[in-house]
Copies of this chain bind each other. A is one copy, B any other.
Amino acid sequence: MVEASVSPEAFLAMGREVLAAQPFSQLIGAELATFSKGRCELHVPVSDSVKQQHGFVHGGVVSYAADNALTYAGGSALGMLVVTAEFKINYLRPAIGDRLIARAEAVHTGKTQSVCRCDVFVLKDGEEKLCAVAQGTIAALPPKS
């Protein structure tokens, strides 16, 4: 997926191409703000369509942001095609604001798996509040035989 000689700009552009190829990420307007080996920051602008019945961002959208950010962090750390094998998320407070910001990083990367952590913030009136924390495993796709 990645090469050591890729420039930071090309790396980010590559990550954005992947996101642009995900119809669901397009549906909810996700944006890749930063992307480097083992790290990423993924945004989801808060529109009415990503909310639940009380006006908060739906938990499923928060978990999407965590899941996708974990995958970018782990995939770039591994440098190959990956899937999220599993993750766990704790919701800390209702996500009320203008934008979700999910920051993930690889904590430990082996040959075929990377364990990553993610913090999800909600931006409101220029202030970030932590609204969820996640931890999960990103696994390399087995080579096709």
Contact = CB atoms under 8 A, between A and B. Distances in A.
Interface of A: 18, 21-25, 27-28, 48-53, 58-61, 63-65, 67-68, 71, 83-94, 107-108, 110-113, 115, 117, 130, 133-135, 137, 142
A57 B59 CA distance: 18
Given A18-B53, A24-B51, A112-B142, 14 more contacts: A23-B48, A25-B52, A25-B58, A60-B68, A63-B64, A86-B88, A86-B89, A87-B89, A107-B130, A108-B130, A117-B135, A134-B135, A135-B135, A137-B137
B24 A50 contact: yes
A71 B90 contact: no
